[in-house]
């Protein structure tokens, strides 16, 4: 058994179009390193040059946000389901429109 | 109190009701684990957004940002627009809502009844199209005023001053507060208040996880985190998919007779998760969660009937929370 990782549409260029990929590791950092060996470039989209989780990336272990589980040190194990999502919360359209109206974009 | 001078004065003060059938059973002799629903559909326009709309308009009036006869422009996927439309009507403003076209038909009909004008941003065009639409409107009407619920401190303050104190008054033994995460106003305001007053309280966010269509971003850098959001207020944050939200929404009406919208289902899913954890740990728990609105506005989605698969399909690509 492995760890199942769900990839959002905008990152599937790194997984050859695959929605779900598999990986291994004891922590989220190890899992992402492992994924990057087969899906080169993925790590760079999830983690900043400073080594933190990208501000607009949310990662969930069994539907729970890793930022509240130790972030990149969060424990993972075989059988876990990991979901990667862009941060848009209540819907990208409203937020984007709101930001544009404030002149932020 | 049951008598008010005007509809605006009837905002808040919503009932907190126990859910004896949905609360998990505990072993004999173990401390109780109870679920409580705060029925925010009992606000003047039927959603929790009345609190934020009222506070944002009042604050803008007091600061001089809004003057009689002004036009308010707000990008919204529904409930905030409806709440603002009511407040704007009673306080003498014109309201223009910018919203994605993939929200339910009821919401746009209600907005129009309240006299709001609607400008749609095409769902298919994704965020780029919404940005283009919004920029164009703002450029054409520089005098229109935005309240910007995602970054307006009055949104969170509404909950710090009303929702939080109401919960503590009605449930002094509260151990967990669970609510949906959108603008983050409910969780930030209520969460801050409860953290100040209740030792060890858990503040839990339930975030709707939409179908792929809604995440119409070109790349990660187009993401957005509301300015109001402060992760340090939260204890945990769950992502809840459409299927679980629908399942729990149906369970709530079947078991407890509460007819709620689908965002409530997402919140209940997280509330049940923490309630069952408390049972396993043998801890006492009073879990209060927010019912942001009732189900009426979502009937046209068809997701209240049929199989779960059919409901999931019906909500695909819709902003159901």
Strand partners, B34: B286
CB proximity list for B196: less than 8 A, separation 6 or greater: none
Interface confidence, given as ipTM, is 0.85
Chain B nearest CA to A80, separation (Å): 15
Which pLDDT does position B220 carry in this prediction? 74
Which pLDDT does position B255 carry in this prediction? 97
- Verify whether the Cβ–Cβ distance A92 to B218 is below 8 Å: no
CB atoms within 10 A of CB A64: 18
Domains, chain B: 7-42+164-310 (3.40.50.1100), 49-146 (3.40.50.1100)
Interface test with B, best of A93, A95, A99, A101 (most B CBs within 10 A): A93
Which pLDDT does position B55 carry in this prediction? 98
pTM to 2 decimal places: 0.91
Percentage of the residues of chain B whose pLDDT score is greater than 70: 90
A96 vs B contacts (CB less than 8 Å): 127-128, 130-131, 134, 222, 224
Which pLDDT does position A95 carry in this prediction? 46
Give the Cα separation of B1 and B292 in Å (integer): 22
What is the assigned CATH class of domain A3-101?
Answer: alpha beta
Chain A nearest CA to B91, separation (Å): 23
- B194-231 per-position pLDDT tens digit: 999 999 999 999 998 876 655 556 677 777 788 899 99
- Among A49-58, A70-79, B136-145, the least confident range: B136-145
A-B contacts (CB, under 8 Å): 157
| Cross-chain CB nearest to A97 (options B121, B183, B219) | B121
What sign does the CA torsion over B161, B162, B165, B167 have? negative
B1-32 residues labelled b (16+ CB within 10 A) or e (exposed): eeeeeeebebbbebeebebeebbbebeeeeee
**Distance of alpha carbon B57 from its chain centroid, rounded?**
18
Residues 133-152, chain B, touching A (beta carbon < 8 A): 133-135, 137-138, 146, 148-151
Confidence class of residue A97 from pLDDT cuts 50, 70 and 90? Answer: very low
Q: Secondary structure of chain A: what % helix, strand, coil (to 5)? A: 35, 25, 40
| Cross-chain CB nearest to A101 (options B138, B224, B240) | B138
Which pLDDT does position A91 carry in this prediction? 44
- Verify whether the Cβ–Cβ distance B131 to A102 is below 8 Å: no
HEC string of B50-61 equals HHHHHHHHHHHH
Angle between helices B262-281 and B242-256 (to 10 degrees): 80
- A21-64 per-position pLDDT tens digit: 999 999 999 999 999 999 999 999 999 999 999 988 999 999 99
Interface test with A, best of B77, B134, B208, B263 (most A CBs within 10 A): B134
CB atoms within 10 A of CB A67: 17
Percentage of the residues of chain B whose pLDDT score is greater than 90: 68
- Verify whether the Cβ–Cβ distance A95 to B134 is below 8 Å: no
């Amino acid at each position: 058994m492995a760890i199942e990782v769900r990839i959002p549409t905008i990152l599937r260029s790194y997984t050859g179009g695959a929605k779900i990929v598999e990986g291994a590791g004891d922590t989220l950092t190890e899992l992402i390193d492992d994924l990057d060996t087969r899906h080169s470039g993925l790590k760079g989209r999830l983690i900043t040059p400073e080594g933190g989780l990208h501000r607009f990336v949310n990662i969930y272990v069994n539907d729970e946000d890793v930022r509240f589980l130790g972030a990149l040190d969060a424990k993972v194990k075989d059988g876990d389901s990991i979901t990667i999502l862009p941060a848009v919360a209540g819907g990208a359209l409203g937020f984007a429109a709101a930001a544009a109206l404030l002149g932020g974009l | 109190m049951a008598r008010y001078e005007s509809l605006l004065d009837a905002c808040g003060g919503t009932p907190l009701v126990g859910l004896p059938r949905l609360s998990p059973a505990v072993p004999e002799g173990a401390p109780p684990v109870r679920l409580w629903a705060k029925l925010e559909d009992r606000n003047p326009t039927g959603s929790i957004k009345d609190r934020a709309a009222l506070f944002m308009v009042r604050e803008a009036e007091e600061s001089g940002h809004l003057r009689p006869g002004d036009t308010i422009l707000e990008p919204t996927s529904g409930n905030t627009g409806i709440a603002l439309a009511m407040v704007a009507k009673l306080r003498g403003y014109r309201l223009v809502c910018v919203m994605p076209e993939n929200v339910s038909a009821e919401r746009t009909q209600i907005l129009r009844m309240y006299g709001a004008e609607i400008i749609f941003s095409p769902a298919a065009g994704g965020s780029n199209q919404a940005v283009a639409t919004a920029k164009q409107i703002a450029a054409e009407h520089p005098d229109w005023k935005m309240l910007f619920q995602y970054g307006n401190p009055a949104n969170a303050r509404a909950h710090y001053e009303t929702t939080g104190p109401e919960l503590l008054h009605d449930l002094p033994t509260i151990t967990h507060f669970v609510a949906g995460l959108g603008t983050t106003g409910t969780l930030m305001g209520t969460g801050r208040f409860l953290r100040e007053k209740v030792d060890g309280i858990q503040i839990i966010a339930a975030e709707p996880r939409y179908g792929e269509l809604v995440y119409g971003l070109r790349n990660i850098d187009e993401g957005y985190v509301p300015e109001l959001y402060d992760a340090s207020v939260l204890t945990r944050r769950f992502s809840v998919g459409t299927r679980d939200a629908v399942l729990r929404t149906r369970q709530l009406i079947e078991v407890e007779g509460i007819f709620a919208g689908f965002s409530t289902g997402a919140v209940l899913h997280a509330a049940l998760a923490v309630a069952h954890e408390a049972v396993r740990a043998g801890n006492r728990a009073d879990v209060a969660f927010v019912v942001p609105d009732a189900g009426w506005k979502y009937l046209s989605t068809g997701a209240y009937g049929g199989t779960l698969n059919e409901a999931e399909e019906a909500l695909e690509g819709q902003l159901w929370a």
